[in-house]
Amino acid sequence: MAVLNSFSLLPSSSSSALSPKPSPVLFSSARFNARATAPFFCSLQTNLAVDAASSVVVGDDLPLDYGDWFPKRHPKDRRRAGVLLHPTSFHGPYGIGDLGDQAFRFIDWLHDSGCSLWQVLPLVPPGRKGNEEGSPYSGQDANCGNTLLISLEELVNDGLLAKDELPQPIDAERVNFSVVADLKDPLISKAAERLIRSDGELKRQFEDFRRDPNISSWLEDAAYFAAIDNTLNTFSWYFWPEPLKNRHLAALEDIYQCKRDFIELFMAQQFLFQRQWQKVRNYAQMKGISIMGDMPIYVGFHSADVWANKKHFWLNRNGFPILVSGVPPDAFSETGQLWDSPLYDWKAMENDGFSWWVRRIRRAQDLFDEFRIDHFRGFAGFWAVPSEAKVAMVGRWKVGPGKSLFDAISRAVGNINIIAEDLGVITEDVVQLRKSIGAPGMAVLQFGFGSDAENPHLPHNHECNQVVYTGTHDNDTIRGWWDSLKHEEKSNVLKYLSITEETDIPWALIEAALSSVAQTAIIPMQDILGLGNSARMNIPATQFGNWSWRLPSSMSFSRLETQAAKLREMLSMYGRL
């Protein structure tokens, strides 16, 4: 028969096993703490049943220790909190954050603050064509790592660079991706070349990396794509000569023979990224920190993914997109957002067992403990815009793959820990799909105060299986948001949170997020630091000036003890420590 979670009523063989008088009522025990156990009641169903084999029947006395049978929280149900901070935003001497010392110092800071989660943006190489300006959502490959994140100092530690080869530090409060690339790319290539020519343990690890079938399945395509792209330097692969555009075997063999050194260097650089990232991830795991990645639902047209997998995308006979991605008019844009990514041919993907997605998910599991899928609603219904359109508002909704995609992934790789970014126009089918796979959705406090009490982003409407943010990388900082808020909406915030304008607004919103019933709370680092609009990471529907924010040079993690202590106190208060 069913039992209460992991508890069962112990069968007794004799009356001596039972108490001579009734035990105290469960919740009258002095050990019961209403605040500490409150989260249990989100999912706990008290359905006490007696084992059929037991002699215990209704009305009999219960065991002496019955009063100590308290509910136990499953590890997966624990409340937790984390910080959103992309590695490019770390301090660093060469114009960009990297996977060196500052990454480890940040993990230490997270641990000291009581957090157990670190969310990053996509780690893919940002697109360097089409004015993407460092966007991790317009990457050239869905599976490669951003080699600009490789730490030069770590390469010195590995013996692949000499200390006197390091460039002079540059003073840059924001990331200039082209300047960083000019500075770091030659040195990372030099280190990769020395790795290839070496003969030791590191070289053997590289060979194991490139031979791993889960790696080679995407690495070879990415390397060939980069080699051709570097040679021809056209705006996109669509303009390549037909034999290369359509991957004729003889043409690819010629590229390998002519560009073998480049291909080898490309693979070696990906190994160096992987090595440094796994070192960071292992340290985080040792400190009890789970790393949450971020997976854009779509990939860019000028990418190895589309070039090597044309049959999986909605392209015409010449290889040009028929329809492209976007969203209808929303709070960010009156004409909608035109993303221009090619759309998936979901029928063709399903006929192939969704193999491309299975590879992508396996890669995500290789890098992260869990990951958020951006624009989750596109799996239920997606907005399709004619490729020649200038604005997204002329698009139409089309049916997505639904649960069949996730069933295929589950069969291929087992359970996956994903967070569904379910913001924007969310219809009932999106909600049902998310719930059918057990994925938590999202709530963003900044979206909560512009309407009525039914607003799903207000804390009283949050769900347990949810991730609450003060804001995401697409939002303004809390300080910037507050400064631009209309008077009426400010009044709603003050009344709802029972605070005054003299209150520290960023921390008031942080506390509201942490006190939410949502199992997970994530706070952007900018809000913890109380920074204004100039610290914003991205403005949707704009092309320039994004993704470049870095921690101010005056704010090293060793100087943020006060913020760590304050955060830790709040986490303790709301059961997230």
How many Cβ atoms are within 10 Å of 472's Cβ, its own excluded? 21
At residue 340, the 3 state secondary structure works out as: strand
**Dihedral, CA of residue 182, residue 188, residue 193 and residue 198, to nearest 10:** 160
> Cα angle vertex 284, ends 423, 134, to 5°?
50
Give yes or no for a contact between 242 and 278, defined as CB atoms under 8 angstroms apart: no
Q: Which two tokens stand for residue 259?
A: 């560009």
* Sheet strand arrangement including 337-342: 337-342, 323-327, 381-386, 396-399
Q: How far apart are CA 302 and CA 548, in angstroms?
A: 22
DSSP secondary structure, 291-314, as one string: EEEEE-SS--SSSHHHHH-GGGB-
**DSSP H or E run through 383:** strand 381-386
Residue 524's nearest CA partner among 478, 488, 490 is 478
Q: Token digits for 215? A: 């790696």
Of 128, 119, 3, 9, the closest CA to residue 60 belongs to 9
Tell me if residue 152 falls in helix, strand or coil.
helix
Query: At residue 385, what are phi and psi to the nearest 5 degrees?
Result: -115, 135
Residue 545 CB coordination number (10 Å): 11
- Residues with a known catalytic role: 374, 421, 474
Q: Enter the DSSP assignment of 315.
A: B
